[in-house]
Structure 1
């Protein structure tokens, strides 16, 4: 993308049929969401971004599935069907917000395998519930720094997967990585909005 988007610009993107976009997805693609949930709004406010979540897409053609590797508040690191966002995110209703898919231009099969290997090794690791407060302290007070651990907010998981596969995204100068920091990377380009 290499360019910040406002929520109104995301809302103006046409919503493409998932069935059409699904055919074009590749392992290593990225899902970005701009949620209307309370936690989503807090993340957006703290980071100054419309994005509240990011995850990595994986195709499993042998079983005709598209999965999302993500770290979520209530479960930590998991794989979930990407279609869950569109059909049954909560109580058989779609995700409340907007969802776009993007592609990192330099992901090949070797990089995708590296992303998957690291991500699978981190399955069930906890969500880093304290990290959002720590990010807020780094932004507002200029104190603290990220400590390496095996607890992840969504963007940390994406960062670590890509770093272990030999492709890094730039950390925010204030000492954290957010969905926005991944979005504005020059290698990332929009595939389409699906929600």
Structure 2
């Protein structure tokens, strides 16, 4: 039986070029040719259909924290193959992914990035093993949810963008509801991209940089950005 190591493909050249610049809190954006990705990209008008966040463990372990409906990689926090919240090696995720990948560098502004680790470790403990939210139409609908009052956010299952939004709120990079911010489940991958009407209102001088490709891929209908 093939192991995770034997199933890997060569580390993408673009990823290798930028790997050393990746830090905890950086945003990872993805898009592929699956039906779900196409529906989400066209439904929201966004170039991207998936979002995750970089977490560095030590000096040389670059991980991706994400919520996915499938995985061929074991979640580091539970040691299991899971359909939901997972922490996986970013290099393996990119090398096996049949789609386009980019990242956005986070400038934390007045925040100290060294403080992110303990906060994220606590949140990872809370959300480890949580399933993926399978209602795709709810995610597309999140594009419009900010126009009407919503119920309290439910973290029992999570979309990819909901996970990242919750993390950014815990890191005080985004306002929480009680401060006038959006519920975490009203964010979509578009919010974390570099375009669109709903730009992130990052706090304390934090900023996200331009999208930088980590893996190129030809997409159906190719509405993804060409850099």
TM-score (norm 1): 0.75
| Per-residue CA distance 1:83-106 (angstroms, 9 max, x = gap) | 123323xxxxxx222100112211
The answer to which structure, 1 or 2, has the higher relative contact order (CA under 8 A, 6+ apart) is 1
Q: State how many pairs are aligned.
A: 171
2:112 aligned with 1:104, yes or no? no
Pairing 1:147-186 to 2, within 5 Å after superposition: 147-150=152-155, 151-168=157-174, 171=182, 176-183=186-193, 184-185=199-200
Q: 2:68 aligns with which of 69, 72, 95?
A: 72
Give, in angstroms, the shift of residue 50 of structure 1. 1.0
Larger-gyration structure (1/2): 2
**Unpaired stretches in structure 1, ≥5 consecutive residues:** 1-14, 89-94
SS at match of 1:194: strand
* Structure 1 residues 109 and 140, CA gap change in structure 2 (3 angstroms): closer
Distance 1:111 1:85 in 2: 23
5+ residue gaps in structure 2? 1-11, 71-82, 176-180, 194-198, 216-227
Partner Cα distance (2:42, 2:151) in 1: 19
1:27-69 CA distance string (max 9 Å, x none): 111111122211111111221101111111111235x321100
RMSD of the alignment, in Å? 2.8
2: distance between equivalents of 1:138 and 1:27? 26
